[in-house]
Amino acid sequence: MNYEEALEFLRNLTTFGFNFGLGRIEELLKRLGDPHRKIKVIHVGGTNGKGSTGTMIAGILQAGGYKTGIFTSPHLHSYCERYRINGVEISKERIAELLTRFRPHLEQMVEEGFEHPTEFEVSTAVGFQYFFEEKVDFLVLEVGLGGGIDSTNVVTPLVSVITNVAMDHMDYLGDTIEEIASIKSGIIKEGRPVVTAADEPKALEVIRRVSRENKSDLVEVRSDLKWEVTKSTIEGQVFSLRTPGKFYDNLHLKLVGGHQVVNAATAVAVIEFLERYGFSLDEHTIRAGLAGAVWPARLEMVSSAPAVLLDGAHNLHGAQSLRKALTEVYSYQRLILVFGMLGDKEREKVVAQLAPLAQAIVVTKPNSPRARDWEKIADEVKKYVDEVYLIENIHEAVKKGMALAGSEDLVCVTGSLYMVAEARALFVPC
């Protein structure tokens, strides 16, 4: 298969949908020689902030001279973004070659009576095989959905990370914080340390209990670490950080928003745990790794005339972080929102967070089959804003938002990573 044929093959696997359980990927990986058991893994789960936190961890490890892989999902513009080593994406040819190699194994599994692995299970297995063959020193592995039920949860990591726990994907993870926390805590493994920045008391109770049951040392970022932000602008942030054993002054971040400082503290706590395993990661390395970290479409300014801000906030927790940044970091006369959200999200609660800040809102349709009844968001938006437009095409919606903006105004594109990714293509070469 060439790259286009390989992607079509993967797309066809989406017909298997969300089919939880680890049996299929374990069988597939066994046929490949269990590559996941031969890699040092940091496993990163949580509702929000997985990508940013994972990128900072990977950046520090890379700055320390380690060959570092990172697996993330979903991608913005290219499937290759999901697999990176020291910041470099996998080639299209390599994806095609790996999937061509995998196909006979998948067909044989079905012939022998196994269920066909899902698209995400296959893409996860591709990652394990790729990073193993490339002999990475570390793999920063982002959970796809949940934790215990996710196909990445076949590893025994050096450190498990739960960035936070909030209401999201309730159709799959449960209707309460406790249920969601229980599933996310499934990545905690016996005797392996855990770092969490969760602040929901009920979620913390679950994480603490599962950590005790697994005899896993637990660092609670919000109580065990202390930080102070000394500078916060649209260019980045400067902060000091005190961990149980160290003090770091004047750490720099390009990433904007108070939530990113929490993510950075989480990353540093993970790195300090790695020192137990004998890996040398000094203060200079931590500084360099944090300062170099970038994560597209998260409070990313892509235009200055007019000012256009992209943010992939797609649930209530993300919307709260975005609202905080819009009110505390960015200055503008009028806010114009370009907003599109999937149908399985807490639309009303997200709208209630963001719409009152705006003077005009352009409602659009995310590029996803899950964008059902997208027009109905306009009814919710009109409770807060009189000037509302309904434009299905994302590029046209963004252009309308820009046309509404004056020289002192801010256009914010948000509500779905799928929608923001397509909007980003207007500004950033892909």
| Dihedral, CA of residue 291, residue 297, residue 299 and residue 304, to nearest 10 | 100
Mean pLDDT (whole number) for 28-45: 98
Q: What is the pLDDT of residues 253-308, one digit of tens each?
A: 999 999 999 999 999 999 999 998 999 899 999 999 999 999 999 999 999 989 99
Q: Rounded to 5 degrees, what angle do the CA atoms 355, 356, 357 make? A: 90
Does the N-terminal peptide bond of residue 366 adopt cis geometry, omega within 30 degrees of 0? no
Q: What is the pLDDT of residues 365-404, one digit of tens each?
A: 998 777 778 888 999 999 999 999 999 999 999 999 999 9
| CA 167 – CA 177 distance, rounded (Å) | 7
Per-residue model confidence (pLDDT) at position 238: 98
pLDDT range class, residue 166, cuts 50, 70, 90? confident
Looking at the predicted structure, is the pLDDT value of residue 417 above 80?
Answer: yes
Per-residue model confidence (pLDDT) at position 169: 63
Pick from 102, 146, 115: which is nearest to 9 by CA?
102
**Tokens (6 digits) for 352:** 């209630």
Mean pLDDT score of the chain, rounded to an integer?
Answer: 94
**Tokens (6 digits) for 425:** 């293509």
What is the b/e burial string over 374-398, where b = at least 16 CB atoms within 10 angstroms of the residue's CB? beebbebbeeebeebbebeebeebb
Per-residue model confidence (pLDDT) at position 345: 65
Q: What is the pLDDT of residues 168-223, one digit of tens each?
A: 665 667 779 999 999 999 999 999 999 999 999 999 999 999 999 999 999 999 99
Pick from 120, 19, 128, 28: which is nearest to 79 by CA?
120
In this structure, are residues 102 and 132 in contact, taking their beta carbons and an 8 Å threshold? Answer: no
In this structure, are residues 274 and 160 in contact, taking their beta carbons and an 8 Å threshold? Answer: no
pTM: 0.95
Q: Left (φ > 0), alpha (ψ -120 to 50) or beta: where does 169 sit?
A: left
Mean pLDDT (whole number) for 35-45: 98
Looking at the predicted structure, is the pLDDT value of residue 336 above 70?
Answer: yes
Looking at the predicted structure, is the pLDDT value of residue 321 above 80?
Answer: yes
Residue count of the chain: 430
Looking at the predicted structure, is the pLDDT value of residue 344 above 90?
Answer: no
pLDDT range class, residue 15, cuts 50, 70, 90? confident
Mean pLDDT (whole number) for 37-56: 97
| CA 281 – CA 313 distance, rounded (Å) | 32
Please write down the HEC assignment for all residues of 268-314: HHHHHHHHHHCCCCCHHHHHHHHHCCCCCCCCEEEEECCEEEECCCC
Per-residue model confidence (pLDDT) at position 174: 72
Per-residue model confidence (pLDDT) at position 18: 64
Please write down the HEC assignment for all residues of the chain: CCHHHHHHHHHHHHHHCCCCCCHHHHHHHHHCCCHHHHCCEEEEECCCCHHHHHHHHHHHHHHCCCCEEEECCCCCCCHHHHEEECCEECCHHHHHHHHHHHHHHHHHHHHCCCCCCCHHHHHHHHHHHHHHHCCCCEEEEECCCCCCCCCCCCCCCCEEEECCCCCCCHHHHCCCHHHHHHHHHHHCCCCCCEEECCCCHHHHHHHHHHHHHCCCCEEEHHHHCEEEEEEEECCEEEEEEECCCCEEEEEEECCCCHHHHHHHHHHHHHHHHHHHHCCCCCHHHHHHHHHCCCCCCCCEEEEECCEEEECCCCCHHHHHHHHHHHHHCCCCCCEEEEECCCCCCCHHHHHHHHHHHCCEEEECCCCCCCCCCHHHHHHHHCCCCCEEEECCCHHHHHHHHHHHCCCCCEEEEECCHHHHHHHHCCCCCC
Per-residue model confidence (pLDDT) at position 16: 63
Burial class (CB within 10 angstroms; exposed 0-12, middle 13-18, buried 19+) of 304: exposed
What are the structural domains, with CATH classification, of the chain?
3-291 (3.40.1190.10), 300-424 (3.90.190.20)
Per-residue model confidence (pLDDT) at position 314: 86
In this structure, are residues 253 and 237 in contact, taking their beta carbons and an 8 Å threshold? Answer: yes
Per-residue model confidence (pLDDT) at position 280: 82
| CA 101 – CA 93 distance, rounded (Å) | 12
Sign of CA dihedral 335, 396, 254, 46: positive
- Phi, psi (5° rounding) for residue 33? 95, 20
Looking at the predicted structure, is the pLDDT value of residue 97 above 80?
Answer: yes
Percent of the chain with pLDDT over 70: 97
Q: Which residue has the tokens 């709208």?
A: 351
| CA 406 – CA 333 distance, rounded (Å) | 9
